[in-house]
Structures are given as structure tokens and as C-alpha cells.
Amino acid sequence: VWYHHGVQDDDAAPPATLEDVARGAGVSRSTASRALTGTGPVSDSALRRVRQTARELGYVADPVARALVRRQGTRVVVAVTSDASDLSGWYLSRVLAAGARICTPEGLGIGVVPVRRADPVRPLQALARDRTVAGVVLVNTTPEMLAAVPPALRGRAVSIGVGSDTEPSFDVDNAGAGRRTTEHLVRSGRRRIAMVTGPPWLPCSWRAVEAYREAVEAAGLPVRIVPGGFDPAHGDAGATTALARWPDTDAVMAIGDDVALGVLRALRRAGRRVPGDVAVTGFDDLPVADATDLTSGTHPVEDVAAAAVRGVLARVDAEGTRFSASELVVRASA
């Protein structure tokens, strides 16, 4: 009625269905479907009319009905190695948030399931047979996890971190970041650089370590690696170990900012000054790095995650790992 403005009316009106569009355009449902999806032959005139009425009616295909018939799924699920309780915090949250932003406009949702490192098979198989699953993004990927991807999931699974011949992968340029950080330390005069690494079982963290190794070797400096993990506790322990083993250490690279925080604590306890006695670097460029004046490398988690989710939806092929760039952010600590 005239005194109602569109907005109010819309509110009650049930969403238009394909049937409505077809009727409005004077064609059959099939034709309307073809016209809208772009599959199959449609005459130009029909195409125009259908598109027109669809627009007028504000028609949007119901993703649920579509998913039912196409067996497409309605959500992308992030499968994350649950052992990395440390990583699971901010890292996983950011991945999910970035993924949600990609999925939402497509009418999809995002979900998350934990995968125990010891038994990746079962959960992945459950995902494979779950008809709501449009695709799977592996996070904190291990080789065992990749091997456990069921054939039924091939082509709709991607990995953040390491990939394989069959699963596409996405990650930040860990190697470049590791190299640049090491080179920065060398350039600023550090000669006995130690590195506290991530958990040994996480292959994607190896890349930074390898880059560090190559860079110090190239500079003719000693390689000083201490295995760690992604939390402050590992940083603290790692730095303590490094100091005990190599008391003349003049720089500590940490695999992440959280780790670096632990390193800083250990150094403070040991009475070493930063950066006077020992330079310290992190990685991830978290807010905490800025707040504590920690030199770090950017980690565009959102970019990586968005690319991964787009990749899984677009069914990209597995051709090596797609790396997102990282930049060194120099602050007072190094």
C-alpha cells in the first residue's frame, strides 16, 4: 500500500524463489536456472528477461537448496592440529576470521575441527563424508596430516604451511623473513647469533630455521640452534639453554614474538641488556612487538588465510606453495 515504504514491505516479503523468477519472466524453472547459472543453452531474449526479473525481485538462489542438489556443502572447515595449543590462540582466530570474511559473501560459513597429531585419519575421514563440507583448510599441517587426506577430499583440501603433490599450500614467506632477519643482525655487527625454533614436528617452521642457517653460514658465523615451541615458556627455556651453551651469544632470533617475549625475560633474569649485550628479534609483528619495542617480521596471516580459503573454493591445483610477503620491522631490540 502507498503509505508503506519499500523497506518495510521487504521485511515481511518471503524471499523470491526461482519459481517466482521463472513465472515473472514467462519461462520455465529450468530455463531460468540455466539463465542464472550460465550452464546450458538459453536464448538471448530469455536470458535478458530472466536476469531482469531476477534483479527486480531481488532474487538470490538459496544456497541450501543448491547445496543439496549439487552436493556442494555449506561450510569450509579448518582442520587444525590441536597439539599446538600455543599456536591455537591468536593464530587460529585470525585464520578463522579471515576465512569467515571470504566465505560469508558466498553464502557459506566457516568451521573448525581439532586434529590430534597422533591420529589425523579419523577426523579427516569424518570431514570427507560430511555433506556439509565444501572444503577443508589444513592448519599447522604435518606430513602425516597430508597423507591422511582421504581421496574423497582431494581437490577440496588446501594447506596453510607445507603442501604436497596433491594438496595446494599457502604460507607466509618464512624463508625470506628468516634470511632478512639474520642478515639484519649480521649487518648490525652481531657475530654469534642463536635461534630458538618452533616445535620440531611443524615443518613450516623449518623454513625460517634453514634460512637462518644458510645466512649465518654464508657470513662465516657459527650455527646455534635451540629447539623450541611457540610460547614464551619455550623462549625462556631456549634462551637459557643458549646462554649456558654459548655464553658469548650476542643475538637471539626467536621463531615468533611470543617466543621472543620469553627470550627477553630470560635475558633480563641473566642480567644481559637488550640490545646492548644481546639483540633479540621475534616474528609475526604482533601488537606486543610494538609495545615492547621488539624487532620483528610481519606475518600477514589474513592474506594467507584468505588466499587459502579462496583457493579451496576455486579448487586451485597443487603447484608449490604460494607465499605471502613478509617485511622486517626494525625496532629497538635489534
Q: Which residues bind a copy of itself (CB under 8 A)?
A: 7, 10-15, 60, 62-65, 67-68, 73-78, 90, 92-94, 96-97, 100-101, 103-104, 107-113, 121-122, 125, 128-132, 150-152, 258, 261, 286-288, 291-292
Query: Could you give the C-alpha distances from 318 to 36, 75, 135, 141, 154, in angstroms and in order?
Result: 31, 21, 15, 15, 10
User: What does 90 bind: DNA, a copy of itself, none (CB cut-off 5 to 8 Å by kind)?
Assistant: a copy of itself
The answer to whether 52 contacts DNA (rule: CB under 7 A) is no
The answer to whether 78 contacts DNA (rule: CB under 7 A) is no
The answer to whether 54 contacts DNA (rule: CB under 7 A) is no
Which residues, in sequence order, are CB contacts of 65 under 8 Å at separation 6+?
none
Nearest to 295 by CA among 249, 327, 250: 327
**Which listed range, 4-12, 68-76, 261-269, 282-290, lies at the site for DNA (CB under 7 A)?**
68-76
Nearest to 136 by CA among 101, 165, 119, 160: 160
Nearest to 140 by CA among 178, 84, 76: 84
CB of 150 to DNA, least distance (A): 18
- Near DNA by CB under 7 A: residue from 41, 105, 189, 271: 41
Between residue 198 and residue 257, which ones bind DNA under the rule CB under 7 A?
none
Quote the CA–CA distance of 117 and 169 in Å, as a whole number: 19
CB of 17 to a copy of itself, least distance (A): 10
Category of 98 on φ-ψ map: left (φ > 0), alpha (ψ -120 to 50) or beta: alpha
Report the sign of the C-alpha dihedral through residues 160, 305, 318, 123, in that order: positive
How many C-beta neighbours within 10 Å does residue 73 have? 20
The answer to whether 65 contacts DNA (rule: CB under 7 A) is yes
- Cβ nearer to DNA, comparing 51 with 322: 51
Strands 279-281, 321-324: pairing is unpaired
Query: Could you give the C-alpha distances from 257 to 5, 241, 282, 304, in angstroms and in order?
Result: 54, 18, 4, 18
Q: Which string of DSSP letters, residue by residue, matches 21-38?
A: HHHHHTS-HHHHHHHHHT
Quote the CA–CA distance of 315 and 79 in Å, as a whole number: 17
Burial class of 130 by CB neighbour count within 10 A (0 to 12, 13 to 18, 19+):
middle
Instruction: For Cα atoms 179, 182, 183, give the angle at the middle one, nearest 5 degrees.
Output: 85
The answer to whether 36 contacts DNA (rule: CB under 7 A) is yes
CA 30 from chain centre, in angstroms, equals 39
- Cβ nearer to DNA, comparing 40 with 89: 40
Quote the CA–CA distance of 245 and 239 in Å, as a whole number: 10
CB of 128 to DNA, least distance (A): 14
The answer to whether 38 contacts DNA (rule: CB under 7 A) is no
The answer to whether 28 contacts DNA (rule: CB under 7 A) is yes
**Which listed range, 42-50, 107-115, 146-154, 162-170, lies at the site for DNA (CB under 7 A)?**
42-50
The answer to whether 315 contacts DNA (rule: CB under 7 A) is no
User: What does 28 bind: DNA, a copy of itself, none (CB cut-off 5 to 8 Å by kind)?
Assistant: DNA
User: What does 39 bind: DNA, a copy of itself, none (CB cut-off 5 to 8 Å by kind)?
Assistant: DNA
**Which listed range, 57-65, 268-276, 303-311, 324-332, lies at the site for DNA (CB under 7 A)?**
57-65
The answer to whether 93 contacts DNA (rule: CB under 7 A) is no
The answer to whether 30 contacts DNA (rule: CB under 7 A) is yes
The answer to whether 51 contacts DNA (rule: CB under 7 A) is no
CB of 48 to a copy of itself, least distance (A): 25
User: What residues line the site for DNA (CB under 7 A)?
Assistant: 14, 17-19, 26-31, 33-34, 36-37, 39-46, 59, 61-62, 65-66, 68-71, 131
